[in-house]
Copies of this chain bind each other. A is one copy, B any other.
Amino acid sequence: MSIVQSLSEIVGPSHVLTGADCARWASDWTGGYQAQPLAVVRPASRDEVSAILRLASQHRLPVVPVSGNTGLVGGGLADGAVMLSVERMNRIRDIRPDARIATVEAGVVVAALDAAAEEHGLTFPLSFGAAGSAMIGGVLSTNAGGANVLRYGNTRDLCLGLEVVLADGRVLDLMTALHKNNSGLDLRNLMIGAEGQLGIITAAVMKLHPRPVQQATAMVAMSSLDRAPDLLNALQDASGGAVVAFEFMPRSFIEGHLAVIPDAREPFDAPHPVNLLVEMAATRDSGLSDVMEQVLSDWMEREEVTDAVIAQNEAQRREMWARREAAAEIAFHRKPFIDTDIAVPLNRVADYLRDIEPLLRAIDPDCSGLSVAHLGDGNIHYTCFPSRDDRQLKSALRAQIDQLAIEMGGTFSAEHGVGLSKLAPMARFKDPVALEMMRAVKQAFDPLGILNPGKTLPARN
């Protein structure tokens, strides 16, 4: 019996796709990667996932899990592999408002979970551009971040329990809803962010938070980024820690937005080099707009803030967020591009952006750059546009972007994951003992090496 026939016996023939039917999964969201899966298989349950992995183990078939397919690092590429899509496992099994938890399957869309939580006055606060497509399995496997990490943490901080199918089909049951549960080694956090290397997440217990009843959202212009971290601290101090987002967009980002997105508008009457999107939120009426206005007018009087607009209604707020969330469209509009995902200590972001440009121009005098940053946690998405589509040139530019982050105490991989695109800096910058131990853990969980092979962990030299 062929593999496709065996897979069909597990999930039914209509849920095994091959050839042209796989087109949707044959490239990633950036368009930078292309691959043809052997087949896409869409199980409906944990037990079907388990049967697929037992089959794959028998035949030593590579298996690549996929959920929303919104990754940016090639982590979901499946050249010649069985692509296991969890999209049919999309039930919200249970929401318990008193305990503020949701039990969900891996195929639940992030925005759908938030919408379901909203009915109970709660929120699932993970916030990023692709939240309308990304699914729980994917955000857990990459420990996705986004704009609200400042307040709510990464996906890791939103997870209490996990159900995982291991490479050989065994089910690892870590489905607790407890906030304290120190019973042996922490396999849950090991699975989160493992990019499908150690098992396939099929369900999870996620934390929900009280939904803010009050928000204050503003676009803020500054002449320089240097004092922006102090503005964040001033807003936090004045509001008792109510800031949920603190996002930086340089003038070039605003111009990109105007050029690429229909109906895009200037955020201010005049252009400014530094544009911040600031949002505060509270679960009771705390006069946040007054706090925001007070701090911003103090800073304007001192001429440290050059302009500011506070959203007066939800439509204005949505427009501010739509601009920020268009980052991928703006960055990937022009080709060739190199997209990166670095982080530096947040007081070094201004230094980084000042220092990186001359370093890149020394490699490619005609390159240009576009940045957007989660300034509240030092995470910069720096996109470099090289002057020509040359593999070696692109490598050199990327290496420089990573190198400077490392020199500033930062990382080459903040929130998107390693996948394929960051294997080189993993090999170059990661502590070699850490790499060795990651490989040892991988070997313990997946001795045949069938789970998402060739990603995340660079091969030994």
Contact = CB atoms under 8 A, between A and B. Distances in A.
Given A172-B431, A345-B178, A431-B172, A241 B184 contact: no
A229 interface: yes
Interface in A181-216: 181-187, 189-190, 192-194, 197-198, 210
A148 interface: no
Nearest to A210: B241
Contacts of A389: none
**How many copies of this chain sit in the oligomeric assembly?**
2
Given A176-B411, A440-B445, A441-B444, A433 B182 contact: no
A56 interface: no
Contact of A210 (B236, B433, B457): B236
A343 interface: yes
Interface in A326-366: 343-347
Interface in A261-285: 282-284
Interface stretch (A217-225, A308-316, A415-423): A415-423
A170 interface: yes
B229 A98 contact: yes
Given A180-B379, A185-B442, A186-B189, A166 B433 contact: yes
A contact patch SS: loop
A156 to B, nearest CB: 8
B286 A178 contact: no
A229 B181 CA distance: 20
A426 interface: yes
Contacts of A238: 284
Contacts of A174: 431, 434
Given A185-B198, A187-B437, A241 B283 contact: yes
Of A190, A197, A441, most B-chain CB atoms within 10 Å: A441
Of A189, A426, A456, most B-chain CB atoms within 10 Å: A189
A180 B444 contact: no
Nearest to A155: B182
**Nearest 9 pairs between A and B by C-beta?**
A189-B189, A440-B444, A180-B414, A183-B413, A179-B377, A240-B284, A173-B431, A185-B438, A181-B411
Interface of A: 98-99, 142-143, 145, 149, 154, 156-157, 166, 170-174, 176-187, 189-190, 192-194, 197-198, 210, 229, 233, 236-241, 282-284, 286, 343-347, 374, 377-379, 409-418, 422, 426, 430-431, 433-435, 437-438, 440-445, 456-457
28 contacts: A99-B347, A154-B180, A154-B182, A166-B437, A170-B433, A176-B411, A178-B343, A178-B344, A178-B410, A178-B411, A179-B343, A179-B377, A180-B379, A180-B411, A180-B414, A181-B411, A182-B193, A184-B426, A185-B190, A185-B438, A185-B442, A185-B457, A186-B190, A186-B192, A187-B441, A190-B190, A190-B441, A440-B445
